Structure 1
């Protein structure tokens, strides 16, 4: 009888934030990929919607992805963010490994007892990330687009950071990332087209700069994201559960 492939569920908290390269990396490691849309495109400007999430027990790994809204927004915590936090707690109790990306990483921090608040300095573009555990989170330039930052949940261990913010932590079988390992040029083009608040210009950058740098780093990032997923599966997904 053929072995059943493990399955990863990507929670697309908004339609612009897909798994992109991260989905490919999990596929390379033998995973079946599933995705669940949380806030539909028509509700981007009014995202406080009630959501019924799938049963987390049917998955081996769950990956909450990015979003443009703050995880601590009261209207969102009263609706789908609160429900997603409950999903993550249930998943941890069921032995499911968790990998949060940007908003998703902040959501993990908030779910397991940390806090999230506005950062004094946003990070947009490619930043050098210093890693204490390069076997889990490879060091080097990773893409950022965030205005908030977390404090670590009780019992968590920080794995990587920039001078401005924590970039990765592990807590049992959960790992939070502040950066965007999934970014490729196609995904970035969509984000730049949707940059209606002028975040990139406010950061002193331009769209062509970011796209050129993303193209230049494509091969390097492809190698490091496969190493990141391998490190997560090897060193985090088999460890004891968060509580």
Structure 2
């Protein structure tokens, strides 16, 4: 990897020398929001510690993401679907998240999120923040309770790359004018695919592979280096 470029240090270099990004895509858990949604769901199942351990290993690239997700979701079987509203009320956007979204929109760009988490939480979160695109997993619910299974495709690292490409193509935005931000190993391919990839308060294995880093939990620190400005 080339030398590390930290956006939270004084004199951070401009990443977009001319113009501004046309599309910014971020991960959700521990990037756009401060929490890991699956751990919040696991709290209701009494499996939080077990799930948190698996999540940490998966985000550091030690486990296959899809397999680890199925294992974690299995622990949620029997939890009432009302848990989604409780979790949505408890999560908090990362400092600077709203400012970054607003700055992207002010420059005429679009904002998307790709999540290994769940549509039941991500969709209303995206609506509340004015996010243009989202992709997330769906949990099976039968008779008002979670079954412990995932429905349809799992948002893997490759799916995140595909979403980035598809959204950019639909907007007519060249890949060199895209930005991807994430914290986990499953975000690395997306960050490598984008014109600019930013590792945000990332796991050690991620910091070793992504040169541009923001190691302070404040997404607004990416605004100026991306050639954007606060409205």
TM-score normalised by the chain length of structure 1: 0.33
| More helix by percentage | 2
Higher relative contact order (CA 8 A, sep 6+): 2
| More strand by percentage | 1
